[in-house]
Structures are given as structure tokens and as C-alpha cells.
Amino acid sequence: MILTAEANGFLSPNGVEIVFLLVGVVTLGAAVITVTTRQLVHAALWLVVALGGLAVEYLLLTAEFIAWVQVLIYVGSVVVLLLFGLMLTRAPIGRSPDADSENRWVALAVALAAAATLVTVVADAFRSTWIDLDRSVQGSPEVTGESLFRHWVLPFEALSVLLLAALVGAITLSRRRGADDAPASPKQER
């Protein structure tokens, strides 16, 4: 780790940093609207803006691969799943006042605590690292893949097994309920 922060100075106003801050403000704003809006589907759509803004931030930090994964998984799949669920259950146009879980203050406390922890840890860890744009890009697929499959193979495989277990668990849970209902439901329909 090179202590280049002194040489570069914090928040020196060059173009990338200004864009980074502006996108950050937009992302934060979209995230706040996501949790405060009274319209359910609007919340999901603002979540798209927040997640997309995060992808742009990754791009500005030269983590190209992570940025596209963010778009592919979160914007392309998770939000689509969310919207799918909302439409399947109940998504009225306009306000839905009954959708308030009345956990507002607890949620705020948890969010603030999480934010404080993350900001402290991240600021402490990366206080003096600086992205050198002239060297090879650190977040390119090649570099990401090498560090993932050379140094982090075991955690990667452990995560894969964990996700697989979750997948199998989800299928088992959904099928068991189906088996109980299955004999009764066709008769009722007829």
C-alpha cells in the first residue's frame, strides 16, 4: 500500500471525483425515496435508479466487471423478481397507506448503525489507497477472475455450496406445501 493520499489530497476537484459525488448524491436520493415513498411500485422503480447509480459508481472506481454484474443481477433480475411479486400480490396505482409496517424508527436506527459501521470500516481500510488510472485496470474481468480463482477459491466454492443449499431448500419448501394441497385443489376447481 502506497501512502499517496498526501500527494493527491482528499477530494481534489478533478472531473471523475465531481461526477462520483454527483452520482452518489443521486443514488442516495433515490435510495431515500425508495424507502419513504407511499407507492409500492414506485419504490421498486426508484430502487432501480439507486442500484443503477451504484453500478455507475463501481464503473468510476474502475471495477468494470462488478458494475456489469450489478446491472445484470440486481437491475435485470432482482428488481424484475420484485416487480413480479408485487404484481402477483397487490400493486394498486397510487398510494397504499396500509403497506406501512410501522417499523420506521427501528429501521432508521438499523440503517444509521449499518451506515456508520460501513463508513468507518471502508474509510479506515481505504484511507490511503489511490487508484492509478495509468496502470492496468484493477477491476477488469481478468484481474477479478485471477484473484477470485487463485487466492479466493475456497470461499468462492463455499459460497457456491451455500447458495446451492439455499436453492435446494427453497425448492423443497415450495414442493412440500404443494404436495399437501394438490389432492384437494383440483376437486374444488371442478
Partner 1 sequence: MSDVLEVALRLLAVLAAFLVLPLLVGQAEHKAMAHMQGRLGPMYAGGFHGWAQLIADGVKFAQKEDIVPAGADRRVFQLAPAVALLPYLVVLIVLPVGPNGFVGQVVDAGLFFVLAVMGVGVLGSLMAGWASANKFSLLGGLRTAAQLMAYELPMLLAAASVAMAAGTLSLPLIVEEFEWWWLPWQAVGGLVFFTAGLAELQRPPFDMPVADSEIIFGAYTEYTGLRFALFLLAEYAGIVVLCLLTTVLFLGGWHGPWSDSLGWLWTLLKGTALAFVVIWLRTSYPRLREDQLQRFAWTVLIPLALAQIALTGVVRVVAQ
Does position 41 interact with partner 1 (CB under 8 A)? The reply is yes
What is the smallest separation between the CB atom of 70 and partner 1, expressed in angstroms? 8
DSSP code at position 98: G
Does position 33 interact with partner 1 (CB under 8 A)? The reply is no
Question: Got the DSSP string for 24-48?
Answer: HHHHHHHHHHHHH-S-HHHHHHHHH
Does position 64 interact with partner 1 (CB under 8 A)? The reply is yes
Q: Pick the closer one to partner 1 by CB: 35 or 137.
A: 137
Q: CA nearest 20: which of 46, 56, 70?
A: 56
Q: CA nearest 54: which of 69, 39, 40, 43?
A: 69
Residue 52 CB partners (closer than 8 Å, separation 6+): 71, 75
**Contact with partner 1 (CB under 8 A): which of 47, 48, 54, 56?**
48
Q: How many residues bind partner 1 (CB under 8 A)?
A: 27
Q: Give contact residues for partner 1 (rule: CB under 8 A).
A: 39, 41-42, 45, 48, 64-65, 68-69, 71-72, 75-77, 79-81, 83-84, 87-88, 91, 93-94, 137, 140-141
